[in-house]
Amino acid sequence: MKRPPLSVLLPYLWLAVFFALPFVLVAKLSLSHAALAVPPYAPKLDLSHGLAGVADFLRGLDFATYRRLTQDRLYLVAYLSSLGFAGLSTAILLAIGYPMAYGIARCGPRLRPALVMAVILPFWTSFLIRIYAWIAILKPAGLLNLALAALHLPAVTLLDTNAGVVLGLVYAYLPFMVLPLYAVLEKQDESLIEAAQDLGLTPRQAFWRVTFPLSWPGVAAGSLLCFIPMVGEFVVPDLMGGSKTLMLGRTVWTEFFADRDWPAASAVAIVMLVTLVAPIVLAQRRRMALMP
Amino acid sequence: MRRGPSPFGIAAVTGGLAFLYAPIVLLVVYSFNSSQLVTVWGGLSLRWYRALAQDSQMLDAVGVTLRVGLISASLATSLGLLAAIALVRAGRFRGRTLFSGMVYAPLVMPEVILGLSSLLLFVSLKVPRGFWTVTVSHATVTLCYATVVIQARLAGFDRSLDEAAQDLGLTPARAFLAVTLPNIAPAVAAAWMLAFTLSLDDLVIASFTSGPGATTLPMRLYSQVRLGVNPEINAVSTLLIGVVAAGVVAAYLVQQRRRGPDGARVA
């Protein structure tokens, strides 16, 4: 193993200080207590007393915050419902995104880049604005209900409901699902399908026995790209969900900003990181190469 | 020979694109609505754009956002270029696994975690929160996206051109500047654009790491959206969408033209 190249030093240091080190601080804070102080937690590391200060600091750390997380049902509900929202939305995204990616991959070489561009473009426009656009459509006297009323259909309530959250998640993450699927489907060798059909498979059988299994890396990459950020999503549940919609991202935000309980926010973040993000990232590391 | 799309495929693509674009189109159309009520059409008007031009808080936020975006995207692209060179050209080196882990992890990390952790760093270092803390946090997160984009192009670049330049007497650094860099320039530009857009777009990380006097546009929009739908937000959103769409389409056309004879594609 050789010495690291010079060019890596600067980005390495940058990421170590601004990305890796903060996680150590989150872990440390999750073992502290909330306190009426600035910043609002205790104990604080006091190096002016030398080793005695470090020892005092270490004695002050414990797992009380984590015990609190297990005792308060709110956190468990938020954890499970985040998994539920993200899982359901990922399934819907696959159901919508796969036919889209497949359809684009079957188009001619001139049309394909334009269609891919059309899928990417909304991703470049502000996430917040795209969610805001839905509020005008879904609110009780919004455009959707006006359209339904014009057709003499009953009004629907989607804003501030769990269904609204799923709709928002699916809408916001659709490009992240279509692109990895397209990347895999576009490269697929057409002659494999022809061979399968020559061997007597119907087009439908050929799809399920050849195309779909071969596209598995894209399915995994797309699901990964959507599932993890959706678990921690804040904007969608906050703006489109009701006051009862509990998701982990919103829990961290509320603990931090509204309750000023920094240790609890940190502990929720650590639990999310250790039980969801880390295992999936490690299991999928090889697939990361497929990311758009 | 490629089979054309089935009717089902055509329907899926059209339906999917309609789903993606309908809300955006409605938002843009209603920004030109003269009515105060967002869902009632009162005729064409530039009323909300005039209101926007007089909203100094909103304009301040636009200024802060643009400055954060310009500086953080430039930082992220420079660092991302160095990181991509190391990942593509250095082979295996000590600490590579950790390094590539740190590069890829922020891509899937929930934003609240990134925001919270950056904030705790600044609090521990006793750095007052404000413009620079947001800029540094944005540079850290977007650095990862910039690296991935540049890396994809650099991996597809024929290294023998660079080696030939070195055989002809150029130092490795000069060979890189004279041969490799011009070739990967579209990807570097795309990386900068991506970093800039992500910074422009970010609400969560900015909310955690910002302080007094450094309210970004998404933070301002968020506080207004929470109060309800308001046609002025439609106007500012339309401007933002227009600027970004023009930039992206221009970048796309440039890349299409520069596409090499080998069909090498830029990420």
Is 90 exceeded by the pLDDT of residue B208? yes
- Categorize the per-residue pLDDT at B137 as very low, low, confident or very high, splitting at 50, 70 and 90: very high
Helix axes B181-201, B217-225, angle to 10 degrees: 30
* Greater model confidence, B264 or A193: A193
What interface predicted TM-score (ipTM) does this complex get? 0.82
> Please, what is the average pLDDT of chain A?
85
Work out the average pLDDT over A233-243: 87
Counting every residue written for chain A, the total comes to 292
Listed by number, the residues of chain B in 11-70 with a beta carbon closer than 8 Å to a beta carbon of chain A are 12-13, 16-17, 19-21, 23-24, 26-27, 30, 38-39
pLDDT computed for residue B264 by the predictor: 46
Residue B8, domain member (yes or no): no
Chain A residue with Cα closest to B267: A292
Per-residue CA distances from A220 to A14, A207, A276, B16 (Å):
30, 18, 15, 21
Q: Alpha-carbon distance A278 to A270, whole Å?
A: 10
Residue B86, domain member (yes or no): yes
First-to-last C-alpha distance (Å) of chain B: 25
First-to-last C-alpha distance (Å) of chain A: 30
| A224 in Cβ contact with B109 (< 8 Å) | no
**Contact (CB<8Å) A14/B226:** no
Chain A residue with Cα closest to B199: A126
**Contact (CB<8Å) B26/A118:** no
Work out the average pLDDT over A43-55: 70
| A207 in Cβ contact with A103 (< 8 Å) | no
Phi/psi-derived region of residue B263, left when phi > 0, alpha when psi is between -120 and 50, beta in every other case = left
B206 touches chain A (CB under 8 A): no
Domain ranges within chain A, ordered by starting residue: 71-290
CA dihedral B140, B144, B150, B156 (to 10 degrees): 160
Work out the average pLDDT over A281-286: 63
Is 70 exceeded by the pLDDT of residue A271? yes
Full residue range of the structural domain in which residue B214 is found: 57-230
pLDDT tens track for B75-124: 999 999 999 998 888 877 888 888 888 888 888 788 899 999 999 999 98
| A232 in Cβ contact with A253 (< 8 Å) | no
Backbone angles phi, psi at A72, to 5 degrees: -85, 120
Tokens, residue B120: 């705790």
Note the Cα A203 to chain centre separation in Å. 35
Q: Alpha-carbon distance A191 to B258, whole Å?
A: 31
**Contact (CB<8Å) A174/B19:** yes
Which residues in chain B are closer than 8 Å to A26, comparing Cβ atoms?
113, 116-117, 120
* Greater model confidence, A173 or B231: A173
CATH number of the domain to which B155 belongs: 1.10.3720.10
**Contact (CB<8Å) A100/B5:** no
Tokens, residue B57: 């808080």
| B116 in Cβ contact with A26 (< 8 Å) | yes
- Categorize the per-residue pLDDT at A283 as very low, low, confident or very high, splitting at 50, 70 and 90: low
If one looks up domain A71-290 in CATH, what number appears? 1.10.3720.10
CB nearest to A22's CB, from B19, B120, B218: B120
Q: Alpha-carbon distance A117 to A175, whole Å?
A: 10
**Contact (CB<8Å) B12/A249:** no
CB nearest to A99's CB, from B9, B91, B226: B9
pLDDT computed for residue A34 by the predictor: 77
SS3 B43: coil
Q: Alpha-carbon distance B237 to B215, whole Å?
A: 17
pLDDT computed for residue B266 by the predictor: 41
Work out the average pLDDT over B138-159: 90
pLDDT tens track for B23-34: 999 888 888 888
Only one residue has tokens 């420079």, namely B78
pLDDT tens track for B53-89: 888 888 899 999 999 999 999 999 999 999 999 888 8
Residue B47, domain member (yes or no): no
Distance from CA of B59 to the nearest CA of A (A): 17
Identify the burial level of B92 via C-beta atoms within 10 angstroms of its C-beta, where 0-12 means exposed, 13-18 middle and 19 or more buried.
exposed
Tokens, residue B213: 């006097």
Distance from CA of B200 to the nearest CA of A (A): 8
Nearest to A196 by CA among A181, A211, A182, A186: A211
Number of domains in chain B: 1
**Contact (CB<8Å) A8/B19:** no
- Categorize the per-residue pLDDT at A21 as very low, low, confident or very high, splitting at 50, 70 and 90: very high
| Highest mean pLDDT: which range of A67-76, B87-96, B99-108, B132-141 | B132-141
pLDDT computed for residue B216 by the predictor: 93
pLDDT computed for residue A43 by the predictor: 76
- Categorize the per-residue pLDDT at A143 as very low, low, confident or very high, splitting at 50, 70 and 90: confident
Residue B22, domain member (yes or no): no
pLDDT computed for residue B101 by the predictor: 83
B257 touches chain A (CB under 8 A): no
Residue percentage of chain B with pLDDT more than 70: 93
Is 60 exceeded by the pLDDT of residue B128? yes
| A56 in Cβ contact with A46 (< 8 Å) | yes
Distance from CA of A31 to the nearest CA of B (A): 14
pLDDT tens track for A200-229: 888 888 889 888 998 988 898 889 888 988
Q: Alpha-carbon distance B118 to B234, whole Å?
A: 31
pLDDT computed for residue A110 by the predictor: 84
Q: Alpha-carbon distance B25 to B43, whole Å?
A: 16
DSSP state of B54: T
Tokens, residue B45: 């008007």
Which residues in chain B are closer than 8 Å to A174, comparing Cβ atoms?
16, 19-20
CB nearest to A102's CB, from B2, B9, B39: B9
